[in-house]
Structure 1
Amino acid sequence: MTGNPYIFPGVRLQARLGQRLDERDWQRLSSIRDAQHLIDSLLQTPAVGWVRGLDGGSAAELAEQQLRLRLGEQTEEIARWYPRPWRAAIRWTRTLPWLDSLRRQQTAPGTGELLRLASTPLQSLTDAQDEAALKQLRETDFAPLLPALGAGENLYRAWYDHWLTRWPEPDRTLQRHLADVGRRLRRAHAAVSRGEQDPAAASLLLLRPLHQHVFTPVAPFAFLAIQALDLTGLRRLLVDRLLFTHGAAA
């Protein structure tokens, strides 16, 4: 008799939940304005793995690339814990932390948001910088989001719609639970992106379905959505401080 294949990964996800920044961490980190001080502080927290190797002199582009690389590694690790039919949908979550960056691009084109998402460094401050970055992004995980980006449509909705195409035909009950995670994810990420809540507070929306369905395919999406909230907050703090540092030095 085959056991439940979701028990082992569910237990591991529960263990990882304890390795997050809490509300006090976010409040303290948000008050730090200096990039080096911020990184030094992060090195003393559960977020150490995201920033190890960076310093106050690091380029914002390097920080973006490091965060994307490490998120990709972690997401792939978690995807491999689950049955193969679910892996494509799980891998799609690695784009979540950068919806905030794409949203900024919609409201303020030409500010360099797309340049930092490009897979290789691009010459900045040129008239065609956004066009050059878009050309590269068409060959990346972000490609399904680019039509919504160009049309000024809701990026969270576009993300969710593409996520649906990657589901391996779950039954109706599971579809309902997954859709609930999607709705909660959209609300939580919008709140963090707009600066209305810190990631620890916003993640409360997603902790409930994670705990309720930890031994089902719902769990990796709730967990990775929570991790994406943390990374959205982290990258905003880190990149903004690094950009300020380099701008002040210019």
Structure 2
Amino acid sequence: MLTSSRFAYTQARLQVRHGLRLNEQQWRHLESQQGLANFLHVASESGMSDWLAGLHADDSIHILEKFFSKHFRDYVEQVSHWQPAQWRKATLWISVLPDLPLLENIRNRGEVPQWLSDDEELGPLLEVSDDALVQRLALTRYAPLTATWHSTTSMLESWRTHWKECWPDTSAKALAGVESVEALILRHRGSFMELKTHATAAARSELSKQLGLQFRRLSQQPAAVFAHLGLVALDVERLRGNVSSRALLLNSVAAKQ
């Protein structure tokens, strides 16, 4: 069993990162910036600066998408090292979550973004036979998903099954906390898929608010880590959306000249 004292170091590191998050007023100021170069300049002087290190205004949209995907993956790995050893595996598995839609498309032979062909892990899964695909998948961090690859089980359900297998023996209180964070995100996901486009921003804002409350309420518990990563994922998604939309506009203007 793990007590809250074992998470004191983890919580201290999380609090520092949590304090760097932008509030809504800061987000609105950032989003009011016109042009990608200006947006990146202002963002680089904010709490989001670490998420932009190495990014350039003239990067292609494919480079941008790959950049944010890798950056989030690296951050999850960093957070996992703050965790007590028993929870590191479950934390690392969070890094797979953003890739589930891509994996679903690969499984169904659907359309995938161009940058995927250059991805070290996902690229080798493209344009190969089903058998070769599963064999290659088994050599990656996505390996646990091979168990249900040829079934009708969704990628998310396969992911959740393995995630729970990664949970260590823990107290009922700690388990309830993790399950409450999971339930909150799943409820949001279910309702979000039914929303009109104009309502999605408000839904994300509400989820951010609820995750923030759970982060504080479940302090020094494993659930605080997952609430924090949920908040970070929302912030990165918002940042990526702003960067990508400005990059697309910049490319459109350049194409007309």
TM-score by length of 1: 0.74
- Equivalent residue, structure 2, for 1:216: 221
Between stretches 102-111 and 79-88, larger displacement belongs to 102-111
Aligned twin of 1:70: 71
What is the identity, as a one-letter code, of the residue corresponding to 1:94? S
Q: Which runs of 5+ in 2 are unaligned?
A: none
Percent identical pairs in the alignment equals: 23
User: 2:201 maps to which residue?
Assistant: 197
1:89 is matched with which residue? 90
TM-score by length of 2: 0.72
Task: Pick which of 191-200 and 70-79 moved more.
Answer: 191-200
In structure 1, C-alpha distance between the alignment counterparts of 2:26 and 2:225, rounded to whole Å: 24
Q: Which has the larger radius of gyration?
A: 2
Distance of 1:114 and 1:190 partners within structure 2 = 29
Per-residue CA deviation, residues 133-192 of structure 1 (Å, 9 max, x unaligned), is x95983544455688898786554443333112111323332222111111123446677
Q: CA deviation at 1:218?
A: 1.6
Quick one: distance in 1 between partners of 2:55 and 2:113? 20
Cα distance in 1 for partners of 2:107, 2:42 equals: 32
Q: Distance in 2 between matches of 1:235 and 1:150?
A: 32
In 2, the alpha carbon distance for the partners of 1:42 and 1:160 equals 34
Corresponding residue pairs, total:
243
Secondary structure of the 1:203 match is: helix
Once the two structures are superposed, residues 46-82 of structure 1 have per-residue CA deviations (whole angstroms, 9 ceiling, x without a partner) of: 1111112222210233223333443333322321222
The aligned residue for residue 161 of structure 1 is 161
Q: Is the 8 A contact 2:106 2:126 kept in 1?
A: no
Q: Match for 2:46: what amino acid?
A: T
Unaligned runs of 5+ in 1: 123-128
Alignment of 1:143-162 (within 5 A): 144=144, 155-162=155-162
Matches within 5 A, 1:123-142: 131=127, 135=133, 138=137, 139-142=139-142
